[in-house]
């Protein structure tokens, strides 16, 4: 029997919910093939165009004069963004040139994870051909995973969710006020929760005896709107109906976590940044799922950190440099989050994927950097195979295009061959979220008309990013 949202809501009132709670049951979970099962995916956006060349930076030349080229374009001193070789935190060798690579010195927290756990994948050169230098266009390309073809509805995570979950499921939560493009979807509900403790349904205080009547009326008008042929009406109906149920299930996760894991909570507070606090909200929800709290079934999360559009005031690695501050925020927060989840015993079931809409130009302007092309992604988690993947982009003058940007290439003979960002998405969906290969191709279609030497030779989604 198909469970309508109306029935679902009525069921929720009585405390007997079929769909999501069933999914939460350990025995049932194992039998659900082709799903993320008892795993989690956390997506992190560095919004504004993170300077990848000052995230994973060549320490020496290797076989490709990478460090020379870096020093030639990036200044030291007043307004300069050059990171001195000696200060970089080594992570391994560039697969192509053999150059030693290092992290921005402010990414100390991330480096600690790399050295102590070995479960951080640094994936270089991720992008797509003819990179758009517009934030909006490029972000949308990454979010929809659709650079060349006709526009697709929803984001890549959203379409994946729509393919794997029913309309009464609430499989994902975004820690924000609104939904980012990668999580937009049409048939299943994604919650936006900025603060769990504020997520309760706001009933009037006056007469508590009337709450049941208010709830029933609210449920009825939203259930009626849900399923309307008018698209916005339907959208609001679905969102409000899912909100009502979740507004009863999610807020208690705050107290649960603060009671059981106060010492961990304090570690996020000590970082004192909103990004750390956002990750803590994710930790609270994962803890809730692990504790079996009814109607809490989220497996996909998103957080973002803004401020990466460093046209000016970017800084190098001196105290107070804007990019360094952002890196410190992200590195330190991820470290606490990782260790918190490890302490919960769940880190082997968590993968964290970090992306940005583009990188920045190798040639700096007077005290910052303008928009660039492909950049690095990060993947970390207990079952992630650590190390350097993908090639550092070729930043030598001769290889730059006439805008001064690095060139994306899928030519098999190009030693600097780039990484198709959709190959990362596909590998995560296939190997981590259990989505069958053909289903991935359906929701993330290839552009078969483009020449394979340059465009979209998306492979088999078998990038070796996870431990066996």
How many C-beta atoms surround the C-beta of residue 306 within 10 A? Answer: 12
Report the residue number, 65 or 314, with the smaller CB distance to another protein: 314
Alpha carbon of residue 101 to chain centroid: 23
Q: What is the DSSP letter of 41?
A: E
Which CB atom, from 134 or from 291, has the smaller least distance to another protein? 134
Which region, left, alpha or beta, applies to residue 449 given φ > 0 means left and ψ of -120 to 50 means alpha?
alpha
Which residue of 122, 156, 199, 432 would you call a contact of another protein, by CB under 8 A?
A: 199
Residue 259 in contact with another protein, rule: CB under 8 A? no
Interacting positions 298-337 with another protein (CB under 8 A): 306, 309, 311-312
> Is the separation of the CB atoms in 391 and 416 below 8 Å?
yes
Single out the residue of 107, 110, 225, 249 in contact with another protein (rule: CB under 8 A).
225
Q: Rounded to the nearest 5°, which phi and psi values hold at 291?
A: -85, -5
Other C-beta atoms closer than 10 Å to the C-beta of 244 total 18
Residues 159-198 within binding reach of another protein (CB under 8 A): 174, 176-179, 189-194, 198
Smallest distance, Å, CB 323 to another protein? 16
Q: Which of 4, 68, 233, 466 binds another protein (CB under 8 A)?
A: 233
Considering the complex, state which of residue 47 and residue 332 has its C-beta at the smaller distance from another protein. 47
> CB of 254 within 8 A of CB of 262?
no
Count CA atoms closer than 13 A to 36's CA, side-chain side: 25
Question: What is the per-residue burial (b if ≥16 Cβ within 10 Å, else e) of 388-427?
Answer: bbbbbbbbbeeebeeeebbbbbbeeebebbbbbbbbbbbb
Minimum distance between the CB of residue 306 and another protein, rounded to whole angstroms?
A: 8
Q: What is the C-alpha R_g of the chain?
A: 23
Work out whether 240 is an interface residue with another protein (CB under 8 A).
Answer: yes
**Which of 25, 84, 90, 203 is close enough to bind another protein by CB under 8 A?**
203
Contact characters 29-58, another protein, x per CB under 8 A:
-------------------x----------
Round to whole Å and give the CA distance between 247 and 237: 15
Q: Which helix (H) or strand (E) holds 89?
A: strand 89-93
Regarding 282 and contact with another protein (CB under 8 A), the answer is no
DSSP E strands, 281-344: 300-305
The answer to the question of residue 152 lying near another protein (CB under 8 A) is: no
Work out which of 28, 213, 266, 452 binds another protein, going by CB under 8 A.
213
Q: How far is the CB of 218 from another protein (least distance, A)?
A: 7
Q: How far is the CB of 192 from another protein (least distance, A)?
A: 3
List binders of another protein among 61-120 (CB under 8 A): none
Interaction of residue 403 with another protein, rule CB under 8 A: yes
- Restricted to residues 361-380, the positions that interact with another protein (CB under 8 A) are 363-368, 370-371
What single DSSP character describes residue 310?
-
Q: How many residues bind another protein (CB under 8 A)?
A: 68
Q: Please name the residues in contact with 179: beta carbons below 8 A apart, sequence gap of 6 or more.
A: 190, 192
Listed in order, strand segments (DSSP E) in 329-451 are 350-355, 375-380, 387-389, 419-420
Minimum Å distance from CB 162 to another protein?
A: 15
Name the residues that contact another protein, by CB under 8 A: 48, 132-137, 151, 174, 176-179, 189-194, 198-199, 201-207, 209-210, 213-214, 216-218, 220-222, 224-225, 228-230, 232-233, 235-237, 239-240, 242-243, 246-247, 306, 309, 311-312, 363-368, 370-371, 402-403
């Amino acid at each position: 029997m198909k469970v309508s949202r109306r029935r679902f809501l009525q069921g929720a009132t009585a405390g007997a919910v079929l769909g999501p709670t069933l999914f939460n049951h350990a025995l049932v979970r194992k039998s659900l093939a082709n799903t993320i099962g008892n795993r989690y995916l956390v997506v992190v956006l560095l919004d504004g165009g993170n300077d990848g060349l000052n995230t994973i930076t060549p320490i020496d030349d290797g076989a490709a004069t990478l460090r020379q080229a870096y020093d030639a374009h990036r200044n030291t001193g007043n307004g300069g963004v050059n990171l001195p070789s000696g200060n970089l935190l080594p992570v391994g060798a560039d697969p192509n040139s053999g150059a030693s690579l290092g992290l921005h010195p402010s990414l100390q927290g991330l480096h600690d994870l790399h050295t102590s756990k070995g479960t951080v994948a640094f994936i270089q050169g991720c992008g797509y051909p003819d990179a758009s230098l517009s934030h909006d266009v490029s972000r949308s390309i990454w979010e929809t995973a659709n650079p060349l073809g006709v526009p697709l509805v929803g984001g890549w995570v959203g379409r994946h969710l729509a393919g794997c979950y029913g309309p009464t499921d609430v499989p994902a939560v975004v820690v924000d006020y609104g939904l980012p493009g990668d999580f937009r979807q049409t048939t299943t509900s994604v919650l936006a929760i900025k603060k769990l403790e504020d997520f309760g349904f706001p009933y009037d205080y006056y007469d508590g005896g009337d709450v049941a009547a208010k709830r029933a009326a609210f449920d009825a008008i939203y259930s009626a709107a849900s399923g309307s042929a008018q698209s916005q009406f339907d959208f609001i109906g679905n969102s409000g109906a899912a909100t009502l149920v979740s507004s009863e299930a999610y807020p208690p996760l705050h107290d649960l976590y603060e009671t059981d894991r106060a010492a961990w909570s304090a570690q996020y507070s000590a970082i004192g940044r909103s990004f750390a606090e956002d990750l803590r909200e994710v930790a609270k929800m994962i803890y809730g799922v692990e504790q079996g709290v009814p109607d809490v079934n989220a497996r996909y999360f998103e957080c973002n950190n803004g401020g990466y559009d460093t046209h000016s005031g970017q800084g190098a690695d001196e105290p107070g440099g804007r990019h360094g501050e952002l890196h410190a925020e992200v590195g330190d927060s991820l470290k606490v989050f990782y260790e918190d989840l490890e302490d919960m015993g769940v880190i082997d079931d968590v993968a964290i994927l970090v992306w940005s809409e583009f990188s920045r130009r190798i040639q700096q302007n007077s005290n910052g950097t303008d928009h660039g092309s492909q950049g690095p992604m990060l993947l970390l988690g207990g079952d992630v195979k650590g190390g350097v993947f993908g090639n550092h982009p070729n930043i030598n003058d001769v290889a730059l295009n006439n805008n001064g940007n690095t060139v994306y290439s899928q030519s098999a003979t190009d030693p600097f061959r780039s990484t198709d960002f959709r190959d990362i998405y596909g590998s995560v969906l296939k190997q981590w979220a259990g989505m069958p290969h053909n289903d991935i191709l359906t929701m993330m279609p290839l552009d078969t008309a483009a020449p394979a030497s340059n465009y979209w030779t998306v492979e088999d989604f078998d990038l070796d990013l996870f431990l066996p």
